[in-house]
Chain A
């Protein structure tokens, strides 16, 4: 089976690779933001429009036909709210109409996990899974495939 991978979207992906690469290799000073993470595998970068499409369940398959399994943090989680506002320009509550609509077409929202650690464990153990954690949460078990930049949060030192 060929490895799952996404088609590059040149400009956005290139920019994202630069940002993600900077975050991953800059050492002790990660940029504030939200790291979109997956378990080790052939997917190394995903551009932000694709991340948004994945978390709206508009994109459900990797290019090899395997299922994309997005996971969310709880709606009240600060990182979840930032993620939603940055990617969709809407709060989790404001997305409710969208998900109600999707429900009638047989599409459910991403599963919710209680903590960032749970997200990390899930994406590491589940093929095709993708989640997000604070960029401050440097963890060698996962790779960062995208960085949602520009959040106001700062990493504790």
Chain B
């Protein structure tokens, strides 16, 4: 895929911090980000493929459904997409209370248009409610959260917004094994362990998600926990466990465990996650794998990134993925990413090809 993304940053740089967002009134902040991607699948922009005046090429290939009830189709066409236009607003009326909402307009604009995808559940423009919760902070060691939040499994899922990641694509591991959002109650905080702080999250999601996307298979119930341990000043180890059922296969109780590591090794950043999910019925419910991502500055704001991922399934061939790319982080929080993704099999989840994107915060 060859792609690029456009963002709408308007940040007032305060030094190390983003100082992003607009103070609408005392305690009320509005911010967000936008990303536009141009994706050119492997083989989708070859000579003679019918590239039009707008530089877009289109080729499609439809695969047979792989499981009952699942919509499975892979595309290999070049697309230009406003993939995210996300707005975050939070209000802190007192030191104890915070209300936060994030809505994400996805695929608001796509060229070529996605009319032919109208039967696909995740096609077309959607307005997703990513987060909507209220926090009550009893202390720094304990905050109660009620509402819809990002599932605290691994590091990537909670830090997946485009401005925070080093690649346009995200590892399949970070979202295939569990729903990205949960609606319920969470207790979290930081507590001292010697001279270091340990972060924890414990959550219960007793019912289905608020505004679950049509393409999602949300939790029908879930319980889990995550702990982040500091390993010196340069590394953090995360441990995640969860037990859950999902809407589409509600009778299949799944158990999940994972480890994630973020290690700043000199100028090299290492991000690794491994995860194992076991299910009761055995059909597509068990999978395990991991990825390792390396990021190293190249100078003048550029960084190089490489990620290798492997996923093994109980009922399907293993999947291998390699991503090589560069990232430019400019002033005022513009982020440009260009990468080549190669996967062992084409799928809608992990297409092979070039991707470029530009993202910005506002």
Q: Tell me if B14 counts as interface (CB < 8 A to partner A).
A: yes
| Residues of B with C-beta under 8 A to A60 | 95, 137, 140
How many Å lie between the Cα of A99 and that of B15 in the bound state?
10
B192 CB to closest chain A CB, in angstroms? 7
Of chain B, the residue at the smallest CB distance from A106 is B90
* Given A53-B190, A60-B140: A109 in contact with B95 (beta carbons within 8 A): no
| Residues of B with C-beta under 8 A to A105 | 100
Query: Do A106 and B164 have beta carbons less than 8 Å apart?
Result: no
| Residues of A with C-beta under 8 A to B88 | 104, 106
Q: Total contacts A to B, CB within 8 angstroms?
A: 99
Chain B positions 188 through 206: 1 when the CB is less than 8 Å from some CB of chain A, otherwise 0: 0010100111000000000
B181 CB to closest chain A CB, in angstroms? 14
Of chain B, the residue at the smallest CB distance from A112 is B14
Q: Tell me if B98 counts as interface (CB < 8 A to partner A).
A: yes
Within 8 A of A (CB), among B221-239: 233-234
Q: Tell me if B18 counts as interface (CB < 8 A to partner A).
A: yes
Q: Which among A91, A103, A106 is the interface contact of B18 at CB below 8 angstroms?
A: A103
| Residues of B with C-beta under 8 A to A88 | 233
Q: Tell me if B20 counts as interface (CB < 8 A to partner A).
A: yes
Query: Do B140 and A109 have beta carbons less than 8 Å apart?
Result: no
| Residues of A with C-beta under 8 A to B329 | 96
Q: Tell me if A149 counts as interface (CB < 8 A to partner B).
A: no
How many Å lie between the Cα of A60 and that of B98 in the bound state?
13
Query: Do B95 and A74 have beta carbons less than 8 Å apart?
Result: no
Query: Do B95 and A53 have beta carbons less than 8 Å apart?
Result: no
Query: Do A9 and B164 have beta carbons less than 8 Å apart?
Result: no
Q: Which among A59, A72, A94, A103 is the interface contact of B190 at CB below 8 angstroms?
A: A59
How many Å lie between the Cα of A137 and that of B299 in the bound state?
37
A interface residues, tally (CB under 8 Å): 40
A6 CB to closest chain B CB, in angstroms? 10
How many Å lie between the Cα of A77 and that of B16 in the bound state?
12
Within 8 A of B (CB), among A81-105: 84, 88-89, 91-105
B360 CB to closest chain A CB, in angstroms? 11
Of chain A, the residue at the smallest CB distance from B20 is A103
Q: Tell me if B284 counts as interface (CB < 8 A to partner A).
A: no
Of the four ranges (under 10, 10 to 19, 20 to 34, 35 or more), the interface on chain B belongs to 35 or more
* Given A89-B234, A106-B29: A61 in contact with B137 (beta carbons within 8 A): yes
B163 CB to closest chain A CB, in angstroms? 6
| Residues of A with C-beta under 8 A to B15 | 72, 74-76, 80, 92, 109, 112
Query: Do B139 and A100 have beta carbons less than 8 Å apart?
Result: no
How many Å lie between the Cα of A144 and that of B303 in the bound state?
40
Q: Tell me if A78 counts as interface (CB < 8 A to partner B).
A: no
Question: A12, A98, A108, A112: which has the most chain B beta carbons within 10 Å?
Answer: A108
Query: Do A103 and B16 have beta carbons less than 8 Å apart?
Result: no
Query: Do B29 and A97 have beta carbons less than 8 Å apart?
Result: no
Query: Do A92 and B18 have beta carbons less than 8 Å apart?
Result: no
Q: Tell me if A154 counts as interface (CB < 8 A to partner B).
A: no
Q: Which among A61, A94, A100 is the interface contact of B95 at CB below 8 angstroms?
A: A61
Q: Tell me if B159 counts as interface (CB < 8 A to partner A).
A: yes
Q: Which among A9, A96, A97, A106 is the interface contact of B100 at CB below 8 angstroms?
A: A106
| Residues of B with C-beta under 8 A to A75 | 13-16
Of chain A, the residue at the smallest CB distance from B234 is A89
| Residues of A with C-beta under 8 A to B90 | 106
**Closest 6 pairs between A and B when the two form their complex, measured CB to CB:** A75-B15, A109-B17, A99-B17, A95-B16, A92-B16, A106-B90
Residues of A bordering B, CB below 8 Å:
9, 12, 49, 53, 58-61, 63, 65-67, 72, 74-76, 80, 84, 88-89, 91-106, 108-110, 112
Of the A-B pairs whose beta carbons lie under 8 Å apart in the complex, a sample of 10, sorted by A's number, is A60-B137, A61-B140, A65-B95, A75-B13, A92-B16, A94-B16, A100-B163, A102-B17, A103-B21, A112-B15
